[in-house]
Amino acid sequence: MLKELQGKTAVLTGAGSGFGLECARIGARGGMNLVLVDVQADALAAAKQECEAMGARVLAKQVNVADAAAMEALAAEVKATFGAPHFVFNNAGVGSGGLIWENTVAEWDWVLGVNVWGVVHGVRLFTPMMLEAAKADPSYRGHIVNTASMAGLLTPPNMGIYNVSKHAVVSLTETLFNDLRLVSDQVSASVLCPYFVATNIHKSERNQPDTVAAQAKTQSQLIGEAMTEKAVTSGKVTAADVARFVFEGMAENRFYIYSHPHALGNAQSRFDAIVAGDNPPDPFAKRPDVGEQLKAALRAV
């Protein structure tokens, strides 16, 4: 269990905003060394300046987490600068929606590249480093937190590409947790499954590659973006709240970290249907007005 932060090292992707930035702030206040990673240069520079002003030692790197070579270079620099990290937060993520057959290859490459490959690279590069540190030092404790989503436990319509990426992160992290238990009692893992929280995830187009940005959006994507923005911006749970949940979850060695536990009712309905062999349940059973609104909008296209 990672409880003591002073002098420990944290690697955080997507550190320029949202959950990543809020976790960096907690780490800085706790006396951690910080490795801040983001693809957006201006947000990264602002995060670095803020955390340094709080007294933290900061290594800030502009990296596309989907790029294997760039992530390998990052891991080497982290080890050379701070040694093995104690907290790795594979958090960088992007959002994209629309009817699942309308997503282009470029969109699949982008979303899976950041949301899945970004986590894969973080796990494959930092886990061996952490296990090596654990073998060398019985007092070492390390924890990996991967950001998924409630969309990794549910299958809401009109956002399939995002669902697929986040289901992959949940599966990857559950497997990581079980694999780690086989080899070490000093390194563990958690998966973060936030629901609708006010972050910049609904503004992911700001960092789209040219191959995606050049494409005209479909009507289903425009409808999905409008509904997501409304849900995200009206949320009462803040990114700072979620960051606190992350550190509490690590300290308690809790695997599943939720922002909105009440949303698990929909997950229970889904798993009940899976066990019973029933068709997928209505994702809008508790909010039929939202379902009818989406259906009407899509059928009017």
Quote the CA–CA distance of 186 and 32 in Å, as a whole number: 19
pLDDT above 90: percentage of residues in the chain = 76
Of 60, 161, 180, nearest to 109 by C-alpha is 161
Contact between 111 and 74 under an 8 Å Cβ cutoff? The reply is no
For each of the domains in the chain, give its residue range(s) and CATH number, in order of start. 9-272 (3.40.50.720)
pTM comes to 0.93
Output the CA–CA distances (angstroms, integers) from residue 102 to 75, 113, 158, 221, 253, in the order listed.
Answer: 36, 18, 10, 9, 40
Query: What are the pLDDT digits (tens) for 84-120?
Result: 999 999 999 999 899 999 999 999 999 999 999 999 9
Query: In this structure, what is the dihedral angle of CA atoms 190, 196, 201, 205, given to the nearest 10 degrees?
Result: 140
Residue written as tokens 């909105």?
260
Reduced to 3 states (helix: H, G, I; strand: E, B; else coil), residue 192 is strand
162 catalytic per annotation? yes
Q: What is the pLDDT of residues 219-228, one digit of tens each?
A: 898 888 888 8
Looking at 140, 162, 195, 258, which residue is catalytic? 162
